Amino acid sequence: MNQQELIPHLFRSEFSRITAVLCKHFGIGHMEAAEDIASETFIAALETWPHKGIPENPTAWLYTVAKNKAHNYSNRKQLFTNKIAGQLKYLSASSVEPEIDLSAQHITDSQLQMLFAICHPAIPTEAQIGLALRILCGFGLEEIANAFLTNKETIKKRLARGKEKLQAENIAIELPAPPEISKRLETVLITLYLLFNEGYYSESNDNTLRKDLCLEAMRLTYLLIENPFTNQPAVNALLALMCFHASRFEARKDETGEMILYQEQDETLWDNALIAQGAYFLKEASQRSRISKYHLEANIAYWHTIKADTKEKWEHILQLYNNLLQIAYSPIAALNRTFALSKANGKAAAIEEAEKLQLTDNHYYYTLLGELYTGIDNERAKQYLRNALTLAKTNTDKQTIAKKLSDLTE
């Protein structure tokens, strides 16, 4: 990997690690300083490596520079405190701060603790996700703004308010007590679920697939599984869901970057190892009786790893959607259920159910109706597809709908 590729790659992986450890070291009130130190560390790499060459161990180099910058910050902070107190003097041995620990285990612990601190119920959900994207995934303001369909200034203010709230509440960077973990875990899982979805199909970034987001979501979810207090069925189910979806990464885009629909994908490109991992985590998730929405979505995703277009397959998927809508209704799940209904019971039954939804501001709704009416009333199908084309937000969706419309017209 050359220098142009290496530094962005290391930034995506190491910025969050350094920031989490320094936040843990200095406390939640010094989050801005931790981010600044991590950023300055990479600026130093950008300034030094082109002239002196890439170090033998680039990660160790970054950790050493980060430690030195953190010590300098700590010394300035201590000097300022002593001046204010009118007690400027040599620091005694007892006042020396403990060594900054950037070992693999401490990094893992710090990131997990940081995830729970950020997902504190005192902070609005949007701020939680934004902070997680920034602190734990190393996203810039523009990337976060894209994820929320807003501008950088709005995100900057939102993150600032979130940080102020963390500081005002004096939230500790630590794993909560076991009863509190269970209460807060749902928010953590929602954050990771949304992070994966943003990568799997990003409307905000007009991108068919952003693997880096998906892989980061999977890595953070796996951290939860590695910890005995957070290794719970819903966590395993969520990681199973991610594995099943990730198994089709290579088949979802063509050479030009355009999306390939599920039924047209080359299943030989699917990653069987990831499918097997998903099956393992789904089995682990089934050890207890409580079923979460992640269990049901993971089971639906599992059936999609079987390419055969059989009535039995779609009947299973339809029943899973029926159960999902009972415990966690969403318009998209209702639309997906209607598609499964068409495959299991025919288009006529599906059209009747679909039209009850009346999701007239959603292009997926009109795309589905266009699909369902194809072969039954092609003129009506074309009108629905035109409606969908008007509402579609991304180039990928527009291209897909336009192709369907073109096929019908021809």
Confirm if 199 and 213 have CB atoms less than 8 A apart.
yes
What pLDDT does residue 94 have? 46
Cα–Cα distances in angstroms (integers) from residue 408 to residues 131, 171, 176, 385, 390, in the given order? 46, 58, 57, 10, 17
Report the range out of 149-158, 177-186, 207-216 with the highest average pLDDT. Answer: 149-158
In DSSP terms, which residues pair with 253 in a beta bridge? 259
pLDDT, tens digit (0-9, with 9 covering 90-100), for 61-85? 999 999 999 999 988 877 766 666 5
Pick the more confident residue, 204 or 322.
322
The overall average pLDDT reported for the chain is 88
Three-class HEC string of 275-310: HHHHHHHHHHHCCCCCCCHHHHHHHHHHHCCCCCCC
- Rounded Cα–Cα distance for residues 407 and 391 (Å): 20
Lowest mean pLDDT among 119-133, 271-285, 298-312: 119-133
pLDDT, tens digit (0-9, with 9 covering 90-100), for 349-363? 999 999 999 999 999
What pLDDT does residue 85 have? 59
Domain regions of the chain by residue span: 24-95
Q: Is the pLDDT of residue 92 over 60?
A: no
Alpha-carbon dihedral 39, 44, 46, 50, rounded to 10 degrees: -170
Contacts of 116 (CB under 8 A, 6+ apart): 174, 175, 176, 181, 184, 188
Question: Among 35, 37, 254, which residue's Cα sits nearest to residue 159?
Answer: 35
- As a whole number, mean pLDDT of residues 339-346 equals 96
In DSSP terms, which residues pair with 202 in a beta bridge? 207
Cα–Cα distances in angstroms (integers) from residue 208 to residues 152, 202, 204, 269, 395, in the given order? 22, 6, 11, 17, 9
In DSSP terms, which residues pair with 207 in a beta bridge? 202
- Rounded Cα–Cα distance for residues 361 and 243 (Å): 31
Per-residue tokens: 297: 């979505």
The packing angle between helices 395-409 and 378-391, to 10°, is 160
Amino acid at the residue 203: E
Cα–Cα distances in angstroms (integers) from residue 230 to residues 110, 157, 221, in the given order? 14, 31, 10
